[in-house]
Amino acid sequence: MDLTTAYQQAVMQAGKIVTGVSSDQLTLPTPCTEFDVHALVNHMIGGLYMFDAAARAASIEMSALEHDFVADGMTDSYNQASAQLHEALGAEGVIMGKWEMPFGTMPGMIAVGIGIIESVQHGWDLAKATGQSAAFDDELLEICMRTAKMMPVEQSRNPRVFGPEQPAPAGAGLADELAAFLGRTV
């Protein structure tokens, strides 16, 4: 699976988890301690718009990402952002260019790798918070883990991004191993 397909799959599979969230779960805490369910879903949707803008070489105001997408209809908002990103990722050579992200300019391949990690890890966070299965494709999880291990994760180990690596329980699946590597308690 190439990186573009992996990102599209990550977004789609995380979207299935978003669809499974009920309105009475929005105030639940998540393993990503900075966010409750409502804030996490907003972050996920805003992230899709941010990556979409970067893929299209468009600028985006960070304040636009603070919009309450959940209030607009959580599933519809996620699906709209996902469709836009999917279209942007379909452009010829899009991941070969430079992407302007709020945290710096980087090769599109690196940005897509970050997007894969974001979608999978926050999908896992959301699944755990809402009692759903974090059912991501094994090939996607392997790509995500390899990508995470290639990133300068140690520079990002702080409560706002990734916590210190945690031990994964014996027999943990790939999704839980990834979560533990990224600092989540499994």
Q: Which residue has the tokens 């690596």?
A: 165
Identify the DSSP state of 152. -
Report pLDDT for 110: 92
Those residues whose C-beta lies under 8 Å from the C-beta of residue 130, and which sit 6 or more positions away, are 17, 20, 21, 22, 25, 28, 37
* E strand map for the chain: 98-101, 104-107
3-state secondary structure of 110: helix
Hey, what CATH class is 3-137 in? mainly alpha
Q: How many CB atoms are closer than 10 A to CB 46? A: 19
Report pLDDT for 63: 76
Domain ranges of the chain: 3-137
Report pLDDT for 56: 92
Report pLDDT for 32: 87
pLDDT tens-digit profile, the chain (186 residues)? 999 999 999 999 999 999 999 999 999 999 988 899 999 999 999 999 999 999 999 887 777 778 899 999 999 999 999 999 999 999 999 999 999 988 789 999 999 999 999 999 999 999 999 999 998 999 999 999 999 888 765 666 665 667 788 999 999 999 999 999 998 999
Report pLDDT for 102: 84
Report pLDDT for 59: 80
